[in-house]
Amino acid sequence: MTDAEARTVIAAVLRGIAPEVDLAMCDNTEPLGRELDLDSMDMLALLTGIGERTGIDIPETDIEADWSLDDLAAYLVET
The model's pTM: 0.88
pLDDT in tens, 47-61: 999 999 999 988 877
3-78 has CATH 1.10.1200.10 classification = yes
pLDDT in tens, 3-22: 999 999 999 999 999 898 88
Report the 10 Å Cβ neighbour count for 10: 21
CA distance 59 to 56: 9
CA distance 14 to 45: 9
